[in-house]
């Protein structure tokens, strides 16, 4: 049984362990990468059966894959700076990014 995600696409979050900000671009209901990745990267061994988030990292060029337990809301109201923001979002309103509307 999967749990409902605490964070939403476009929400700005803060990584509690590594102290960086970012914006959620996708959500997996459970861990979806390989066991090898988990063993190497997920040192705190967060639960695989809870939501995991794809996050564009502020002031960086990469994105991360983060377990829900390692994230907290970022209520600073400040925008995230990332070169791929425009691929996903077209507006920043009231501290939240809004997904681009797909054209037909």
53, two tokens: 């988030």
Q: Tell me the pLDDT tens digit for each residue of 46-71.
A: 999 999 999 999 999 999 999 999 99
pTM: 0.93
Beta carbons of 56 and 23 less than 8 angstroms apart: yes
Beta carbons of 13 and 73 less than 8 angstroms apart: yes
Residue 13 has pLDDT above 50, yes or no: yes
**In the chain, what are the domains?**
12-99 (2.30.30.390)
Q: What is the pLDDT of residue 1?
A: 46
């Amino acid at each position: 049984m999967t749990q409902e995600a605490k964070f939403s696409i476009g929400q700005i979050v803060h990584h509690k362990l590594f102290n960086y900000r970012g914006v959620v671009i996708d959500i997996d209901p459970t861990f979806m990468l390989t066991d090898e990745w988990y063993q190497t990267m997920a040192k705190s061994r967060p639960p695989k059966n809870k939501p995991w988030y794809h996050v564009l990292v502020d002031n960086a060029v990469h994105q991360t894959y983060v377990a829900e337990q390692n994230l907290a809301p970022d209520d600073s109201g400040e925008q995230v700076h990332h070169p791929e923001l425009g691929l996903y979002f077209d507006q920043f309103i009231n501290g939240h990014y809004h997904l681009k509307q797909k054209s037909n």
